[in-house]
Every structure is written in C-alpha cells, then in structure tokens.
Structure 1
Amino acid sequence: MTASLAVFGNLTIDDLVFPDGSTRWAVPGGSAVYAAMGISLWTGCASIVAPVGTDYPIELLGNRIDLSRCQHVPRTLRNWGLYEEDGQRHFISRNATRNWSEFCPKQTDVASGYQTAAHIAPMPHDLALELVSALRKVGTSSISLDLDDHDLLGRTNLEAILGLLGGVDLFLPSHQDALAIFPGAEPLEGLRRLRSYAPDVTLIAMKCGSEGVIAHVSGAKECIHVPAVQVDLVDPTGAGDAFCGGVLAGFAEKNDPIEALLYGAVSASFCVEGIGFAGLANATEEMARPRLATLQHRVEFQSM
C-alpha cells in the first residue's frame, strides 16, 4: 500500500498528565500519526516517514496508514505530556530518548518514495529546513509546516524561522507557537505579524484550540475565521496535527485555501471525539461530508 500524500514527523509513546490530576500511560501517538489520520479521512491512505520502534503497536493504525517508508529503530520516542487548564501542552522527552533528532526523518528519507504533497510535522529546525529543500528538489507540489515548540523555546533568531517559511506553501502554527515568537501577541496580531514577515506563503493558519482557526491567504484584504466543529470533547490530544493533515489533503484535492481549512477543521473534530487517535480511526469520509457542509456556512471574514 502506498500513498501520494506523506507526513514527515515522529511516532511517540506518551505518558500524559491532565489538569484534573488524571493520568494516562503508554499512549501510542506522535504528530505524524495524527496528521496522517487527518489526511486519510479524506484520501483513504497516507504515508508516514518516521523512525518506528519495535515497541510501537502498529496494528492499531489499521490499513489507512502506510508505514513502508519508516526506518526501524530499537525503541520509540517516549515523552511526558503535561496539559494545562488553559489548553497549553508541554511535551518533554524521557531521558532514554532525549535526543529528539534521532527519532525524526532525515533528508535522505525523501528518496524512499514519491509524494505529490507533504506535511512536515514538528521537529528540530535544521532537520525541517533540510526536508523542505529535499522535497522541493524532487518536485513535491505542496508542502505544509507545523513548528517545533521545543525549538522555539529560547530561539530569538526570527530570521532563521522565517527562512524556513520561505520554502513552504501552508504554514500552520498554533497560537502557543506564535506567542513563543511574539510574546504577548493576541492571535490576530500574531497572524498579522507573521504575514508581514512571510508575504508569499500561500496560507498562514493559526490554530486556536476551541476557538477554531484564524487564517490569511496571501494577497487577501481579509482574514478568515473557521470555528471549531461543535462536538463532545473527549481528548484534545493530536487535534492540531489532525487539522494540519486535513488542510494538506484539502489543498491537494481542491487547490483552495478556504476549502483546505474546512477539511482541517473537520479532521480535528473527529480527533477530539475519541481517546488518542481512536476517533479518527473510526471516522469515514461519508461521516465527514455533512460536517463539512455545515461548517461552510459558519466561515467568517474580517479586515486584516
């Protein structure tokens, strides 16, 4: 099984601590898994390009995820995941897997298969930059990017971050990412500042959790607000990554930034309805289409 849309990122096993004191141990996940699930909701299949350990329960991924391009490593990246009351999350690698770069794809992995479009999930800045360059060289038509908030902490070189953005089509940070770049900035102000620094990126979309997404298409006079789909929240883990996958799938299919945002919001809505990636794994495109139709009527525009 192969797929033309690929996610470059990581697979993880996470030990989670929630604001109410509850915990969940050894949860299989990883940004690449959630993004690929967000894609496959619309396409039927997505490839993951990431190291995978023998301890990862790949049987839980079903037949919608192509792992044939994954390099096998002795163990999977293991994290502590700490959730705050305000929605912020902090992931800290466990001591035995603290060198995150060892659990991320490298530029040589681009040649392991073919992708018409690719999403680069959070990873160290230098690795992401190498992947963008390699993907462009092999003719990948659309590239989306989500920032690594580990890398943003303490990084003051805005020029380096913006150099990475120059090579992508879809930039999909969270508000938490934007705050790391522009401390204190409200979402709209952060969006404006990002756009002023990166005028040629086709779409910049800032994920704002339960408040939905605010976005701007290059050259437009207005910004876009796509609200979150109204569903019962079970587990927010991976929703932002699922959104990214849905956006890439929508953009690849429709070549329309607004439609791409809607696809992303619907992917995220299924993600939060189950524990881990169960909500997405059980969702189908037939289930997604009614949500998409409803959400199309809730899109709002405001002056940039």
Structure 2
Amino acid sequence: MTSSVSVFGNLTIDDLVFPDGSTRWAVPGGSVIYAALGAALWTGRVSIVAPLGADYPIELLDQRIDLSRCRRVPRTLRNWGLYEEDGRRHFVSRSATRDWNAFSPKLADALSGVQSAAHIAPLPHDIAIGLARELRKAGTLFISLDLDDHDLLGRAHLEEIVELIRAVDLFLPSRQDILAIFPGVTPLEALHKLRALAPDVALIAIKCGAEGAIAHVAGAGERIHIPAIPVEPVDTTGAGDAFCGGVLAGFARGDDPITALLYGTVSASFCIESYSFSSLSAATGQEAASRLAALLQRVELHPMGG
C-alpha cells in the first residue's frame, strides 16, 4: 500500500466529562482519526496505522481514511476524558484496556506500507522512537511527532525525550506537553529551550489552544505566530491532532513551513466546531481555502531573540 501520508497511533472510544458537568458517552475518536482527517483535508486519502477494535464504528469514517493497514483486535481502547476550565485534559484508560502498548502499532507496522510523510501520534516512548527509526530506514521523507504528557511525566531523564525529538523532522507538542517537559515555563521560553536542544529539527511548533501556535524553522532568525481562527467552539477534542495532520500535509505537498502551519490551524478550526470528528470530516476544500486566505493575513513574524 502506498500513500503520501500515514498516521501511527491509537483508536479510542471515550467517555467525556466537560467543565460544566455535561457528559458525552462512547464518543469514537483517537488521535489517529483527527490527525488523518486534518491531513486529508489537504492531501486526499490518508492511511491510518493502529489496532482497530471490532467495536469501533468505522461506518462513521469517510472514504478519505484508509484502514487497510490496521491490525484487527477484539476491542477498542476505552478512556475516561476529564476536561478542566483552563483547557487541560486528563485521559484515564479503563481497567480492561489499561495496557497502552497492546493498543499501539508494532514496529513492524512501519514496513506494512510506503509513505512519503508519517505522523507519530502520542504513543509510549519506546514504541514512538522505534517507529521513527524504522520509518526513517524505510525512506520516509518527513516524520512529525506529538507527545503524551502522562508519558512525559514518567520520563526520568530529559535526554530520552530529546533523543526522540531529534529523530523526527517536525516536533508539534501542546502547551500541556511542554509543561511536563519544562515545568513552569512559558511557551516562548520552551520554544527557545527546545531549539537549543534540537537545532536540526526542521520545524518546532507549540500548540497553544485559543492563542494559536508559535513556531520556529531551523536556522531562521524569526519565530512565527499563527493565531487561532475565531470560530464558536463546541468540543476541542482532537484539535491538536488535526493541527498536526494539517502541518504534515503541507510538508508532504512540498509547501513552505508557514503554509503548512496555516493548513494545521485551518484543520483544527473545523475540528472544534462539533463533537467528535463530524465537522472535520464534513469540511470541504472550498471552505478550507476560504479560511486559509483569511488566516494568511494574520500571520505574525517576530525576531527569535525577542
């Protein structure tokens, strides 16, 4: 199987509790779905590489999502998702699906197909770094990485995290991830720290929720701020993953880094307009182009030292 973009990670079914006390049960999702749809908005068909449970409602997915590389398993990873007023989220796996490794891709899955670009969604550290190495050996040109703040908190040594970051081309953490790596720092301070630790990573972009994203291209004298698109948020689940998919799509298409960041921001904007991934799945190329054109006028460049 050959695809321009593939996404490696988890499929989940989540029970969500929101800050106002409202709840939603059995919401199909998983980081790979949102990242794949975020990329597919710009590239067309995207492959997902993740264990696929027999109980996952694949009928809700559109034809842009290729599941042919998914290993079938009896059940889907099931989580409790708890949301706080400040935007932080806490996901806890149910006891029957607590072995995260069992619901993650295997290293051999990196060789189950061919792709020019691959996204590694939040996964256990050893699996993530193993996949990055296998994908690189297989000739994947662009590898992007997102992290899991719970896994980060279990990392005793910064060197382990830095080793993983240096193994990819695009490092796309959330503000919550950054606080797990560098407690108490601001996103801008973290951007400087990350660039010093990983000078050769082509793009480092920190997702800051409603404040947009800040980013730096390797070797550039300026940092980039991409503001969030003003839409009415319904559910922010998966927005960061959709951003990652959009950014990787830009690199897969051969676009410049700012355009790739714009793709990611547009993908995230569709994601938050509904529960689960329905708005992102329904987004059209025409709608995406309209938001892209408006957002382009709002890009900010600032001296990296400032």
What TM bracket, shorter-length normalisation? over 0.9
Aligned to 1:281: 281
1:221 aligns to 2:195 (yes or no): no
Aligned to 2:302: 302
Aligned to 2:55: 55
1:262 aligns to 2:292 (yes or no): no
AA matched with 1:206 = I
Aligned to 1:64: 64
1:254, CA displacement in angstroms? 2.8
Aligned to 1:145: 145
Aligned to 2:8: 8
Q: Distance in 1 between matches of 2:301 and 2:2?
A: 38
Q: For each residue in 1:57-114, what CA deviation from the matched residue of structure 2 results, as whole angstroms up to 9, or x when unmatched?
A: 0010111100000000000000000000000001111000000011010110011111
Q: What SS class does the counterpart of residue 235 from structure 1 fall into?
A: coil
Q: Distance in 1 between matches of 2:133 and 2:152?
A: 21
Q: What SS class does the counterpart of residue 114 from structure 2 fall into?
A: coil
Q: Distance in 2 between matches of 1:182 and 1:171?
A: 15
AA matched with 1:116 = S
Structure 1: segments with no counterpart, 5+ residues: none
1:40 aligns to 2:7 (yes or no): no
Say if 2:224 and 2:300, in contact at 8 Å, map to a contact too: yes
1:2, CA displacement in angstroms? 5.8
Say if 2:2 and 2:115, in contact at 8 Å, map to a contact too: no
TM-score in terms of structure 1 length: 0.98
Say if 1:231 and 1:269, in contact at 8 Å, map to a contact too: yes
1:142, CA displacement in angstroms? 0.3
Aligned to 1:189: 189
TM-score in terms of structure 2 length: 0.98
1:255, CA displacement in angstroms? 3.8
Say if 2:235 and 2:275, in contact at 8 Å, map to a contact too: yes
Q: Distance in 1 between matches of 2:126 and 2:303?
A: 35
Q: Percent identity?
A: 69
Q: Distance in 2 between matches of 1:91 and 1:46?
A: 26
AA matched with 1:274 = S
Number of equivalences: 304
Structure 2: segments with no counterpart, 5+ residues: none
Q: For each residue in 1:222-276, what CA deviation from the matched residue of structure 2 results, as whole angstroms up to 9, or x when unmatched?
A: 1110000111111111000000000000111134111110000000000011111
Q: For each residue in 1:28-80, what CA deviation from the matched residue of structure 2 results, as whole angstroms up to 9, or x when unmatched?
A: 00000000000111112110000010000001011110000000000000000
Aligned to 2:119: 119
Say if 1:3 and 1:66, in contact at 8 Å, map to a contact too: no
